[in-house]
Amino acid sequence: MTPRPKTIQIYLPGGDPRGIRVAEITTRIVQVLEVPRSLLPEFLAMPESDQVAVYFLVGQGDDGDDPRVYVGQSGDLRARLSQHHKQKDFWERVLVMVSRTDSLTQTHALFLEWHCMQAIQKAGRFVAENGNKGVRPHTPAPLEADCLEIFETGHMLLATLGYPLFDAVAKSTTGNSDDQPFLCRSSGADGRGVYTSDGFVVLKGSRGRKDIVASLVGTASASHRESLIEAGVLAVDGDMVIFTRDHLFRTPSGAAIALMGRTANGWLEWKSKDGQTLDALKRQSVQA
């Protein structure tokens, strides 16, 4: 189904675009509030903090690490978030999904918490801090239908605020030429990747060499590569490394360096199957 145009309203209670933000689709009852950790006391004084809610603690992590998220639900949001503020270090912002009509029940919240955890695990974009996928709660069919509609709206609002928790880092490749992967086959690498609106995604199964060149030792790129190995994104296989899942890099060059173990200009190293560079297809074509 082709997505339909939508109007999303973002309200700034404090007038600061980096402060608390409240997003909603004007014709629906679901709201998502984005709250910086430093402004948690201000949020806890707002009436929305007195509702049944599903919430997401998010942290970007160190450079090169996947962002992290913890999913929760509560009918006593003030107590729960105060507890997380004292006990959990990783998070920087909390995203709170509530109803403008205060109509979410604990049954809604339990199903949405479980469903969101499944979607986050499937997408693989954020590392889930919950540690497990939870157990599906018993939910009557009419209520489950309501929850799925709430989830759809929340999904869109979260992505609009800059948190695509439920979106895979790479679309599945199809016959559409725009979706065909780029190849990196230099310095012993055999990589496939796609250029997306978020950055460059190296696809699962891509292979690169394990060792890095001497000039890369001690650099941020080398540290990033080691963190990918430690996180299990890269698996060592003899003198090679293999991507165990699709992984998003901020730049094509970062993706190429991780594969080849040397400095590289990813715009020139990534090429289509007929040999055209990523630069020619994605940068020069825009200039033309």
- Domain range for 41: 8-160
Q: Do 212 and 186 belong together in one domain? A: yes
Which of 131, 160, 189 lies at the terminal end of a domain, its last residue?
160
The C-alpha atoms of residue 99 and residue 114 are separated, in whole angstroms, by 18
Looking at residue 70, what is its pLDDT? 97
Q: Tell me if 188 is assigned to some domain.
A: yes
Is 243 found in the same domain as 146? no
| Structural contact between residues 79 and 102, judged by C-beta atoms closer than 8 angstroms | no
Domain match, 196 and 141 both: no
- The answer to whether position 170 is within a domain reads no
Residue 135 domain-assigned (yes or no): yes
Q: Which of 244, 200, 231, 257 is nearest to 65 (CA)?
A: 231
Rounded Cα distance between 55 and 93, Å, is 10
Residue 165 lies in a domain: no
111 domain residue, yes or no? yes
Q: What tens digit of pLDDT does each residue of 187-236 get?
A: 999 999 999 888 899 999 999 999 999 999 999 999 999 989 988 899 99
Split into its structural domains, the chain has a count of 2
% of the chain beyond a pLDDT of 90: 78
What pLDDT shows up at residue 178? 54
In a domain, 52, yes or no: yes
Residue 2 resides in a domain: no
> Does 126 lie in the same domain as 210?
no
Give the Cα separation of 68 and 127 in Å (integer): 5
Shared domain for 90 and 230, answered yes or no, is no
Q: Given 102, 132, 160, which residue is the final one in a domain?
A: 160
Do 129 and 217 lie in one domain? The reply is: no
247-249 sheet: strands from edge to edge: 182-184, 191-195, 200-202, 247-249
> How many Å apart are CA 192 and CA 204, to the nearest integer?
8
pTM of the prediction? 0.79
**pLDDT per residue of the chain (288 residues) written in tens, 0 to 9:** 567 888 999 999 999 999 999 999 989 999 999 999 999 999 999 999 999 999 999 998 654 567 899 999 999 999 999 999 999 999 999 999 999 999 999 999 999 999 999 999 999 889 899 977 778 999 999 999 999 999 999 999 999 999 999 998 876 444 344 567 899 999 999 999 999 888 899 999 999 999 999 999 999 999 999 989 988 899 999 999 999 999 999 899 999 999 999 999 999 999 999 999 999 988 876 654
Tokens read off for 46: 């707002």
Is the same domain home to 53 and 127?
A: yes
* Domain-terminating residue out of 160, 191, 211: 160
